[in-house]
Amino acid sequence: MELMPSVSLKGCEENGMPVIGMGTSAYPPADLETTKAAILEAIKAGYRHFDTAFAYGSEKPLGEAIADALRLRLIESRDELFITTKLWASFAHPTQIVSACKMSLQNLQLEYVDMYLIHWPVRLTEMIRKTPVDVDLIRPLDVEGVWQSMEECKLLGLTKSIGVSNFSCKKIDQILQIAKFPPALNQVEMNPLWQQKQLRDFCKEKGVHVTAYSPLGANNTKWGDNRVVENDVLANIAKAKGKTTAQVALRWAYEQGVSIVTKSFNKERMKQNLEIFDWSLSADDLEKISKLPQRKGVTLASVMGPHEFVLELDAEV
């Protein structure tokens, strides 16, 4: 099995983060046993980086899968894995963050995670069971207070590193002004049809790594579509190389210097998604991809509702 490249991140220099992670967010949500079985298959296929979140409901099955993998000797030690989870917006208050991180660790049956991210740059004043969200529940994020509590999670050893997700250049800059530990990464939607060049350039300049989610356009979800996997330009490049369209999209992201979180519970596609390291795209391929029309797929408004404050946050990204 080909050794997967890794990226060195602040706080995770020792082992690094494998550049491809398996996402565990499923729509519609998968049951615990289905998710656990898919994660075990992924470990067998060579995945060592897993991305979860309190909001996905996949922390518990991931924790059970890790315990099973250790028992079955699929891995020798938890330290072989890189685990990312995320602070949900309902806990994004300075006084709640350490306990929220501990709750995620309890779900995962772990003593620490490798990466703890702020899921969205917004706070909800209570737990929600459905979306869209009532406008009265939505609050601006106390960036300084929340980040100081994220730093406390790191200092307590609950997480090796801390970062953000769905943050704009403006919001990251706010953190950088006050941070003792700057965010190690920003996980955002990114694919050939939403290339995020301005944000990537900003993050690179500031030393913040970028991880791409929905690298294949989140097909078959309520927020995604098939515009990446059925794109003619990508399909023609794939055909010429004897690859799948998905592999071309993932290779493109890898060549931009980002890491990738990709989700498939299909055994064959899981393997295909890892087979992107022994070939490359030509300058002509990259030129064609750079000219693809751009459109954002995931918006905070699509989750929370088209409230004025939410639309303002979406406009920043």
Please identify every residue annotated as catalytic.
Answer: 56
Angle ∠(211,214,219) on CA atoms, nearest 5: 170
Q: Which of 226, 165, 219, 227 is nearest to 193 (CA)?
A: 227
Rounded CA gap, 2 and 275, in Å? 9
> DSSP assignment of the chain, as one string?
-PPPPEE--TT-TTT-EESEEEE---SSPPPHHHHHHHHHHHHHHT--EEE--GGGT-HHHHHHHHHHHHHTTSSS-GGG-EEEEEE-GGG-STTTHHHHHHHHHHHHT-S-EEEEEE-SSEEESS--SSSS--GGGEEE--HHHHHHHHHHHHHTTSEEEEEEES--HHHHHHHHHH-SS--SEEEEE-BTTB--HHHHHHHHHHT-EEEEESTT--TTSSS--STTTT-HHHHHHHHHHT--HHHHHHHHHHHTT-EEEE----HHHHHHHH--SS----HHHHHHHHTS-------HHHHH-S-HHHHHHHHH-
The strand pair at 185-189 and 6-7 is best described as: unpaired
Rounded CA gap, 251 and 85, in Å? 24
The encoded tokens of residue 234 equal 């990508």
187 - beta bridge partners? 165, 211
